[in-house]
Amino acid sequence: MTATATVTLPRAPGLHATAEAPGHGEGGPASTLVIVAYGFWIFLISDIVMFSAFFAAHAVLQTATDGGPTGRELFDLRRVAIETACLLLSSFTCGLSALAAEARRVTWTQAALFVTGLLGVAFLFLEMHEFAAMIAAGAGPQRSAFLSSFFALVGCHGAHVSVGLLWLGTMMAQLYVKGFRADIQRRLLCFNMFWHMLDIVWVAIFTLVYLVGVAR
């Protein structure tokens, strides 16, 4: 066995650069970074499994409008397009913050995180605005099973974004106070994965809830 050719490294999920632990049990346990990131990766996947239940409920109840408003009447695709753009761009800037953090550039990291947060706030504002308008128009979650499942699914994603924004603010403060310590780096990595996961869930939402809801 020639070492150089066969050694493969478990890579921390979400991490851009290659990793730190030789796999296959060689060289002892994996690094804390790999363990933390892998654990968080498992959490994210289970979170997506939870989302799948909401998606399944919505798919089944999409036509159960009880004579009330349908998606075609309620959804404003221009607003959804702006929301999508906000979240996609924020995912991009979040990735940039990870690169800057890898390069230990505090200012760039903070700037990228700040822009990520701004885009997230914009997304959340648009979503709240949509919810408020729908409820004011009598299309609240009590109106029909379709709207119950809509508010449950999209609201659950919105709640994730809100929590993500809180986390983001906390990370910026921690980075400011503590600098690039190993634990801060790990948390930043986990936050990155969380934020990218939110965008992935949003891709499914804007497609299956909004676009299919309007197209059907």
Partner 1 sequence: MTANHQKLMALDAVPGAEETRGEDLWQGAQGYLLGLVLSALLTALAFFFTGSDWLWGPSIPVALSVLAVAQIGVHLAFFLHLTTAPDSVNNSLALAFGTLIVALVIGGTLWIMYHMNLNMPPMTQMAAPAVTAAGAMGSQNATGVIEAASPTPVAAKVGGVVRSIDCDVGSRVRRGQLCATIDAPTLAQAVAQSEGALRAAQMRMAQDQAALAAAQARAAHRPAAKGRVDTLRQALSSDQRGATAAQQELDAAKARLEDAKVVAPTDGVVLARNVEPGQAVAANSQHPLFLLAPDATTVVFRGFAPGSAAAALKAGEKVVFTVDQLQGETFEGEIIRVAAVQGAAVAEVVVLAPNPRAAMKPGMKATIRMPASN
Judged by CB under 8 A, the chain residues 127 through 186 that form the site for partner 1 are 182, 185-186
Tokens of 153: 């699914």
Between CA 169 and CA 164 the distance in angstroms is 9
- Piece in contact with partner 1 (CB under 8 A), picked from 38-46, 137-145, 154-162, 171-179: 38-46
Cβ 201 to partner 1, closest distance in Å? 9
Q: Are 67 and 136 in contact (CB under 8 A)?
A: no
The torsion angles phi and psi of 67, rounded to 5 degrees, stand at 75, 0
Q: Are 143 and 66 in contact (CB under 8 A)?
A: yes
Among positions 65-104, residues that touch partner 1 (CB under 8 A) are 77, 81, 84-85, 88-89, 91-92, 95-96, 99-100, 102-104
Task: Tell me which residue has tokens 């979650």.
Answer: 141
The type of residue at 161 is V
Count of residues that bind partner 1 according to CB under 8 A: 74
Task: Tell me which residue has tokens 């906000």.
Answer: 86
By CB under 8 A, is residue 215 in contact with partner 1?
yes
By CB under 8 A, is residue 20 in contact with partner 1?
yes
- Piece in contact with partner 1 (CB under 8 A), picked from 26-34, 115-123, 136-144, 163-171: 26-34
Cβ 169 to partner 1, closest distance in Å? 21
